[in-house]
Structure 1
Amino acid sequence: MIKVENTEVYGWETAIRGMRNPMNSWEKSDSCYCKEPITTKCNNLGCSHCGWAWSDLGKNPFCIGDNDMALMQKLVKAGTDHRKFMRMITVSCDIIAPLYWWKQFDTYKVGTVTDSCSTMHKIAEQEFTLDDFSCEHLFNGAEEGTEFLKDFMYTIKALNKARETYLETKKNIYWWQMIQLLPSSYNQRRTVVLNYEVLRNACQARKHHKLDEWFGFYKWAESLPYSELILEV
């Protein structure tokens, strides 16, 4: 299970100025902020890519013109050394995903900042329920008489017993029971700041991964403005 919320994308102007610095070609830039309602085409010179679903990403959508888009695509295909502008397009969001997925996401540390909910400080804050975990693939008696989901419920029961005793006694030994029993399927929320270059690396490397969460992550990246910069090979 993965959920991505509160997405924001910004830094387009900075990225385009920087992209055009090497050839001093700023006068060829044809991108702009859309001045009209998002549902209509604006009349600004060079604003030929209006119509993107930016309603959740800012009140004044930034529309990339033909000249700037052509240069972006050329630089993206030229490789990491040439597409430095991608590192200037910033994305922030909240991601809720299981710990086993976060372990893989942590591979993409460069250009990424995360601020997570704390299991150290808040593990006993509320009762554990099945909704706190990603367990949609566990057998529930349908396969060979195996009931892994039922066994998993015993783990949740043990976690809640340790939690109750910890709250009653405040003894750290019961806190340790929660910390060391906590499955890697536990869903953790993190606020993440990254950029289009990091997203491109992650999506290109993980788009065929066996974890469902990476497919959900890819679908979210697909919804971002001008996602072809991220997804196209």
Structure 2
Amino acid sequence: MNYNEVISNVQIYGFEDAVKGAKYSYAVDLNKVSSEISKSTIALAASQPGSGHDQFMTGIILQFDLTFSNKAWVEAERYKFLNFITSQSTMHRITKFNLDDVYMPQVDKRIVEIMKEKVAAYNQLQTEIKEKQENGKDVTALTAKLDQMYLELLYSNPAGFRLTAKMSTNYRALKTIYRQRKDHKLPEWRAFCQWVRTLPHSEFITGETAAE
């Protein structure tokens, strides 16, 4: 899996200001502080996660679209500083997706077919209810059945269902994520870490030079 299958629309903010801010601790005249990356900047970035010495990296902000399976999203949600801006929703749109496109290739095709059958049955009943309402007929029982069918869809949907969310994080948070996920079993996490290595001065995050 390539990183462009999970990451898109990347925006990076505050890089130069954050690098400049890293020098404030020993500065007297802030007008003389530059945004040039120095040996001390590199040393601060290379400090151990949790030490606090790499705090300036929180000022390097990223926004991006991330496409993960439900399985990967559950794991992503543990990171406090990997923030959701907004996302697609199975709760609202499960019956509207093209199911041929939204599942990981590892999802059993039989399961996909079952989901297609359930979506088709739901949409058919929804149409039937609408027609009966237009003719002034009571649809109370059918509506209750429709609600139950929707719950069956939500709970039957496999972990390989992919959704896209707009996310926000920072270089310092990525430092932790990268170390924990670069060799993960899920291909999405490995692709995510592949993307991290393409970021400007990714060595701040990975601790790896280009040669490595």
8 A Cα contact 2:86 2:166, kept in partner: yes
Higher relative contact order (CA 8 A, sep 6+): 2
Distance 2:6 2:195 in 1: 9
The equivalent residue for 1:133 is 103
- Deviation at 1:176? 1.3
For residue 160 of structure 2, give the secondary structure of its aligned residue in structure 1.
coil
Q: Is 1:74 matched with 2:49?
A: no
Structure 1: tracts of 5 or more residues without a match? 32-64, 139-147
- Deviation at 1:153? 2.2
Distance 2:84 2:102 in 1: 24
20, 24, 28: which one pairs with 1:21? Answer: 24
For residue 25 of structure 2, give the secondary structure of its aligned residue in structure 1.
coil
Q: Report % sequence identity.
A: 24
TM-score when normalising by structure 1: 0.71
**Aligned-residue CA RMSD in angstroms?**
2.2
Counterpart residue identity of residue 113, structure 1: F
146, 149, 152: which one pairs with 1:174? Answer: 149
The change in CA–CA distance for 1:168 and 1:99 in structure 2 (over 3 A counts) is farther
Q: Is 1:113 matched with 2:113?
A: no
Report how many aligned residue pairs link the two structures.
186
TM-score when normalising by structure 2: 0.78
Structure 2: tracts of 5 or more residues without a match? 130-142
8 A Cα contact 2:184 2:190, kept in partner: yes
Q: 1:166-193: per-residue Cα shift (whole Å, max 9, x none)?
A: 4543532222122111111111110001
Distance 1:168 1:120 in 2: 22
The equivalent residue for 1:91 is 62
The change in CA–CA distance for 1:113 and 1:14 in structure 2 (over 3 A counts) is farther
8 A Cα contact 2:84 2:167, kept in partner: yes
Question: Is the helix fraction higher in 1 or 2?
Answer: 2
